[in-house]
Amino acid sequence: MDKLIESRDTVNRWLERFGVRFGIYKNGVFKEQLFPFDSIPRVIPADDWRMLEQGLVQRVDALNRFLYDVYHDKQIIKDGVVPAEFVYSSKGYTPECEGVTPPHNIYSHISGIDLVQAKDGKWYILEDNLRIPSGASYPMIARTITRKVSPQTFQENAVVDSRDYSQLLKEMMDFVNVNGGANVILTPGRYNSAFFEHSYLAEKTGALLAFPGDLMVENDQVVYTDMYNERHLVGCIYRRVSDEYLDPLVFEPSSLLGIPNLMQAYKKGNVAVVNALGNGVADDKGIYYFVPKMIQYYLHEEPILSNAPTYLPYFEEDYRYILEHLDKLVIKDVSEAGGYGVVFGRDLTPERLEELKQLIMADPRRWIAQEVIDFKDLEILEGDQRVERKADLRAFVVSGQTTKVWKSGLTRFSRNPDSFVVNSSQGGGFKDTWVLEQ
């Protein structure tokens, strides 16, 4: 593996060559940055992976059942397992999706589940991303490059080949495709932070990459318009545009990114939308608390993977605990994503702690609190030195005919020695994730 580790700069040059960047807005100005790759992989032994795989499939299956239930019978609410206000006050709850059934009842086709490993080796789920989880393309292309740059590393180590992600995506899109029309990836455009991913996945899955304006709805069918104004039927849209911008006639009327009348075509079952609309209700940080209960409720199984110990100020007992232990907890604003809205109590001055307390008291539903997990640090190269940094793992679970976990994932690490925040938008880097054959 030493050869590969020494090749970090070579791999990064290859990534630059292929335009592997992510976009970021700073002070209103769009900038594209390289996503720094660290060549020391995260290695997951086969036994650990088997457990993770089972736990992730179980979790995503339960979340899909929950989404169907929320927009149909609401049995989980009626049975008092999830309080109604958590569902209906969630920003992600979408009344327009009531009674709408996506093809094959699949809501979360691509789930990005964030995990961390504690120092004792135990894995914890940190977050479920069920709307538009991004990041798979980086380890995908990195593996292709590292195999080229250091073939002997892969001859000497029995690492599962992870270059099949695009195949998993394609199979899933084909499965949910409703009419044999084209598979399309809908991007908001070049200035989206994940544009590289949109274009790379289109290349690798053979899907059409559509920009705003390329798709329209005619007679309740979605069509792609070519240069001669001819229409081509679309059967599946892997959209990388948020729900609120997806159909200006139903959601945000000023949106230029969406497809007018898409909701009508979708409701009639004339197009599959990946991921389905309305998923935000299930990846709400408040709903996260209830996922283990969902697993018991829908699958009658014990959860294989644990949540990070979480408190909801909504519950009286938790509320008191949070206010008493605020300086030891990590507090998350349920409406934020991308590492924003995450505050470590220990980093706050007494004045700021008091301010936060007031905010929690004023709007308890807006917050969750978690115990700080002592992450297992991973080694990274800082210059030529090996140093340890916090890292998480985003596992990608693809739900089509069956639910499958991609045998790799995005390992993100913090470059700042004092930080637990690993998001690329906050300066983090990434590593390859090796799953060992045995």
Partner 1 sequence: MTASICNAISATKANRLYWLGRYAERVYLSLHLLRKFYDKMIDGSGDEYLDYYKRLDATTVYPDYTSFMLGYMYDTKNPGSLVSGLELANDNAIVLREEIMSETLSYIQLSLVKIKAAAAEGVTNITDLQNITDYLLAFWGSADERIYDDGVRDLLRVGKLVENMDMHVRFDYPFYRIAETYESLKKCADDFDGILDPVILEQLDRLLDEDCYQSEDTEYKFKLLKYVNHLVLL
If one asks whether residue 329 binds partner 1 (CB under 8 A), the answer comes out as: no
Q: How far apart are CA 258 and CA 351, in angstroms?
A: 44
Contact pick of 7, 150, 177, 403 for partner 1 (by CB under 8 A): 177
3-state helix, strand, coil in the chain (%, to 5): 35, 25, 35
Q: Which is nearer to partner 1, 16 or 374 (CB)?
A: 16
DSSP lists the bridge partners of residue 392 as 412
Q: If binding is defined by CB under 8 A, does position 173 make contact with partner 1?
A: yes
Q: Return the residue of 230, 316, 317, 384 that touches partner 1, per CB under 8 A.
A: 230
- Residue tagged 């179980």 (tokens): 58
Is residue 283 within 8 A of residue 276, CB to CB? The reply is: no
The only residue of 19, 151, 309, 417 in contact with partner 1, by rule CB under 8 A: 19
Of 172-180, 330-338, 400-408, 413-421, which part binds partner 1 (CB under 8 A)? 172-180
Least distance from C-beta 149 to partner 1, angstroms? 15
> From the CB of 195, what's the least distance to partner 1, in Å?
8
Residue 71: CB minimum distance to partner 1, A: 24
SS3 letters for 178-246?
CCCCEEEEECCCCCCCCHHHHHHHHHHHCCEEECCCCEEEECCEEEEECCCCCEEEEEEEEECCCHHHC
User: Out of 157, 179, 242, 419, which residue is the one contacting partner 1 (CB under 8 A)?
Assistant: 179
Size of the residue set binding partner 1 (CB under 8 A)? 40
Which residues, numbered 357-386, are part of the site for partner 1 (CB under 8 A)? none
**Shortest CB 236 distance to partner 1, Å:** 6
Residue 174 interacts with partner 1 (CB under 8 A): yes or no: yes
Q: What is the CA radius of gyration of the chain?
A: 22
SS3 label, residue 57: helix
**214 in contact with partner 1 (CB under 8 A):** yes
Identity of the residue, 6 or 214, whose beta carbon is nearer to partner 1 in the bound complex:
214
Tokens of 414: 């913090």
**Binding of partner 1 by 401 (CB under 8 A):** no
SS3 95: helix
Nearer to partner 1 among residue 177 and residue 433 (C-beta): 177
Q: CA 395, 396, 400, 401 torsion: positive or negative?
A: negative
Measured in whole angstroms, the distance separating CA 97 from the mean position of its chain's CA atoms is 21
Stretch of 4-12, 116-124, 194-202, 400-408 lying at the interface with partner 1 (CB under 8 A): 194-202
Residues linked to residue 310 through DSSP beta bridges, in sequence order: 370
Q: Are the CB atoms for 242 and 132 separated by under 8 Å?
A: yes
Kindly state the smallest distance separating residue 175's Cβ from partner 1, in Å: 8
Contact call for residue 202 and partner 1 (CB under 8 A): yes
- Kindly tell me which of 178 and 322 has the beta carbon lying closer to partner 1: 178
Q: Is 180 in the site for partner 1 (CB under 8 A)?
A: yes
Residue 89 three-state SS: coil
Question: Is the distance from CB of 157 to CB of 432 less than 8 angstroms?
Answer: no
**Residue from 165, 224, 251, 406 binding partner 1 (CB under 8 A):** 224
Residue 285, CB half-sphere, CA atoms under 13 Å: how many? 28
Tokens of 96: 């327009």
- What is the maximal distance between C-alpha atoms in the chain? 67
Among 56, 125, 236, 397, binds partner 1 (CB under 8 A): 236
Shortest distance, CB of residue 273 to partner 1, whole angstroms?
Answer: 14
Please count the residues of the chain.
Answer: 438
**Among the candidate windows 37-45, 187-195, 295-303, 414-422, which touches partner 1 by CB under 8 A?**
187-195
How far apart, in whole angstroms, are the C-alpha atoms of residue 157 and residue 432? 14
Q: Contact with partner 1 (CB under 8 A): which of 2, 17, 95, 120?
A: 17
User: Site residues for partner 1, window 123-152 (CB under 8 A)?
Assistant: 141
Among 26, 80, 99, 227, binds partner 1 (CB under 8 A): 227
| Residue 345 in contact with partner 1, rule: CB under 8 A | no
| Residue 199 binds partner 1, judged by CB under 8 A | yes
Told to check if 269 binds partner 1 by CB under 8 A, we report no
CB of 202 to partner 1, least distance (A): 4
Integer Cα distance of 105 and 142 in angstroms: 34
Of the pair 182, 287, the CB lying nearest partner 1 is at 182
227 vs 362, which CB is nearer to partner 1? 227
Torsion of CA 356, 359, 363, 367, to 10 degrees: -20
Q: Please provide the DSSP assignment of 331-381 as one string.
A: EEETT--TTTTEEEGGGS-HHHHHHHHHHHHH-GGGEEEEEPP-BPPEEEE
Residues engaged in binding partner 1 (CB under 8 A): 16-19, 141, 173-175, 177-183, 189-190, 195, 199-200, 202-203, 206-211, 213-214, 224-228, 230, 232-233, 235-236
